[in-house]
Chains A and B, each alone.
Chain A
Amino acid sequence: MHEKPKIAFYWCASCGGCEEAVIDLAEEILDVVAAADIVFWPVALDFKRHDVERMPRASILATFLNGAIRTSEQEEMAKLLREKSTYLIAFGSCSHIGGVPGLANFFTRQSILQQVYLDAPTTENPNHVLPETNGRDGNRALSLPNFSEQVRSLDQVVDVDYYLPGCPPLPKIITAAASALLNGQLPEKGSVLAPDQALCTECSRKDSKPDKIAIKQFRRPQEVVIDETQCLLAQGLLCLGPATRAGCEAPCIQGNMPCTGCCGAPGRVRDQGAKALSAIASLIDSRDEAEIDQILATIPDPAGTFYRYSLPASLLHARRGV
């Protein structure tokens, strides 16, 4: 009997939303199960690392790996799954470009441990215990994965074949990728499996975008009654659509919230944050330096806003000294 292709799902530094995205396929997950065997999926199936270690090299057709790489365990699993898989697919923003966990690259490892284990108001740690890779509890030797200096995207650790963008990827993008995979119609290696153009091109509000947008004040969604039909940028909302890849069909904007850039940049852009910054700044309606600064002051956290998902994959990867 013809053997079904094998697929695997794994998670690293992520929130679990990408696992949810697989469940969101609803009945279509049954089509995937009908066509392929899921051989490893820690959130749902009881297979362990040693089960993967026993698999022959490249015996898994594709592993969908979500989450960024922060700990030594995640790095080991990424390398193991790379070896066992024909295709390794970065699933979701975190593994694609670093994602929200990548914002930790604005802080040093030391300051993160200090905040989480010692300083946070809700932390009770009278003995000032910090995680150690090799500790002892009485007679027992305990080991924990190492917490590395930086968050990295998957392709900064292992070779990646394809990327599924989004936080999390939408069902439409996942099913299109799954069918391309199972039918052997994958594009060139290294492709992001979504259209290579800016989100504005498929935005439902694109017809309302004026020829020239001129912004005197940036507004946050909670500060303004948003017109549900007009371009959000034209209303002064910081929408990152111009610097973000299409493919999601703008569900956030349909929900009256600006795009935050989770799908990363289109292919010809190297640094999404810089490009978003460039696009947004040129809309400012002033030629006077002091007034420009005043308008820009209505963006409270530009670095965190423009690099919300892409700091590890950006040109500088992290704050200086991290």
Chain B
Amino acid sequence: MPNLVELTPRNGNASAAVAEPLIVGFFCTWCTYLAADLAGTSRIKYSPNVRVVRVMCSGRIDPQFVLNAFARGADGVLIGGCHPGDCHYQEGNYNCLRRSRLLRRVLLDLGIEEERFRVEWISAAEGDRVRVVIDDMVGKLRKLGPLRMKRDGLPERIAAPELESPLPAGVAVEEVTV
């Protein structure tokens, strides 16, 4: 188990010589998460900079998740889904692709470089691809340096972001489809 604090020296010791990039990964449970699992059982070594969040489908990744990761101190966000045509739910990874192409442009306007947001299609069989992608992304992020979107200097009244608050009990939700 890697020492989490050691990987994020900015939290503890700002003068630490090397600021290791922190990546938040959103991996789909059917493909990329299994690939990362395979990488582990195959004892493939890769940079320990990714915190993986398992999601049911890359189509479930709300752009808010990505922005929230950056807002809370991630230097990069990596999305892993099934190859085009292989989505367990047929259309999910295409929706992820559509959203991420638009999100990429918005991130650029927010001053977040292209290399910090990456979408990869990695199948359950491609354990070594996990290593290649993560090592490559870590290398690029090291060159870019820390993102520092987490604003310690912000006015105290700006509360920590909370995404979707739970519905109060007994509230019926009308599903709005577009």
| A292-317 at interface with B (beta carbon < 8 Å) | 292-293, 296, 299, 301-304, 306-307, 314-317
- CB neighbours of A286 from chain B (8 A): 98
| B85-112 at interface with A (beta carbon < 8 Å) | 94-95, 97-99, 101-103, 105-106, 109-112
In the bound assembly, the distance between CA atoms of A314 and B109 in angstroms comes to: 14
Identify A320's interface contact among B97, B99, B110, B158, CB under 8 A: B110
How close is B109's CB to chain A, nearest CB, in angstroms?
A: 4
- Which of B8-16, B20-28, B65-73, B133-141 makes up part of the contact surface? B65-73
How close is A227's CB to chain B, nearest CB, in angstroms?
A: 18
- CB neighbours of B165 from chain A (8 A): 267-268
B117-146 interface code vs A (CB 8 A; 1 in, 0 out): 000000000000000000000000000000
**B17 interface residue, CB < 8 Å from A?**
no
Known A275-B62, A277-B102, A279-B178: A316·B109 in contact at CB below 8 Å: no
Known A267-B165, A319-B110: A292·B98 in contact at CB below 8 Å: yes
In the bound assembly, the distance between CA atoms of A242 and B103 in angstroms comes to: 17
A270-B163, A315-B68 provided; 8 other pairs, C-beta below 8 A? A152-B155, A159-B157, A201-B176, A211-B177, A270-B164, A271-B68, A280-B102, A302-B102
In the bound assembly, the distance between CA atoms of A271 and B66 in angstroms comes to: 11
- CB neighbours of A306 from chain B (8 A): 106
Asked whether A268 lies within 8 Å of B167 as measured between CB atoms, the reply is: yes
Asked whether A274 lies within 8 Å of B64 as measured between CB atoms, the reply is: yes
User: Which residue of chain A is the closest to B177 with respect to CB atoms?
Assistant: A211
> How many residue pairs, one in A and one in B, have C-beta atoms under 8 Å apart?
127
Asked whether B101 lies within 8 Å of A289 as measured between CB atoms, the reply is: yes
**B154 interface residue, CB < 8 Å from A?**
yes
Known A156-B158, A268-B164, A302-B102: A287·B62 in contact at CB below 8 Å: no
In the bound assembly, the distance between CA atoms of A319 and B149 in angstroms comes to: 9
- CB neighbours of A274 from chain B (8 A): 62-64, 66-67, 103
In the bound assembly, the distance between CA atoms of A306 and B94 in angstroms comes to: 21
**B43 interface residue, CB < 8 Å from A?**
no
In the bound assembly, the distance between CA atoms of A200 and B64 in angstroms comes to: 21
Asked whether B157 lies within 8 Å of A282 as measured between CB atoms, the reply is: no
| A113-157 at interface with B (beta carbon < 8 Å) | 152, 155-157
In the bound assembly, the distance between CA atoms of A198 and B71 in angstroms comes to: 26
How close is B168's CB to chain A, nearest CB, in angstroms?
A: 9
**A36 interface residue, CB < 8 Å from B?**
no
Question: Which residues of B does A touch, CB under 8 Å?
Answer: 62-64, 66-68, 70-71, 84, 94-95, 97-99, 101-103, 105-106, 109-112, 147-149, 151, 154-155, 157-158, 161-165, 167, 174, 176-178
Known A268-B167, A274-B64, A274-B67: A292·B101 in contact at CB below 8 Å: yes
- CB neighbours of A32 from chain B (8 A): none
Identify A315's interface contact among B71, B97, B102, B109, CB under 8 A: B71
Asked whether B106 lies within 8 Å of A277 as measured between CB atoms, the reply is: yes
Identify A282's interface contact among B111, B163, B164, B178, CB under 8 A: B178
Asked whether A275 lies within 8 Å of B155 as measured between CB atoms, the reply is: no
User: Which residue of chain A is the closest to B106 with respect to CB atoms?
Assistant: A303
- CB neighbours of B84 from chain A (8 A): 287
CB-defined A-B contacts under 8 Å, sample of 26: A106-B109, A157-B157, A242-B176, A269-B64, A269-B164, A271-B63, A271-B67, A271-B161, A273-B106, A274-B64, A274-B103, A275-B62, A277-B99, A277-B103, A279-B178, A282-B95, A286-B98, A287-B84, A287-B94, A289-B97, A293-B101, A296-B102, A303-B105, A317-B151, A320-B110, A320-B149
In the bound assembly, the distance between CA atoms of A301 and B108 in angstroms comes to: 11
Asked whether A320 lies within 8 Å of B112 as measured between CB atoms, the reply is: yes
The residue in A152, A316, A322 that gathers the most chain B C-beta atoms within 10 A of its C-beta is A316
Known A106-B109, A281-B101: A315·B178 in contact at CB below 8 Å: no
In the bound assembly, the distance between CA atoms of A197 and B62 in angstroms comes to: 18
In the bound assembly, the distance between CA atoms of A321 and B95 in angstroms comes to: 31
Asked whether A292 lies within 8 Å of B176 as measured between CB atoms, the reply is: no
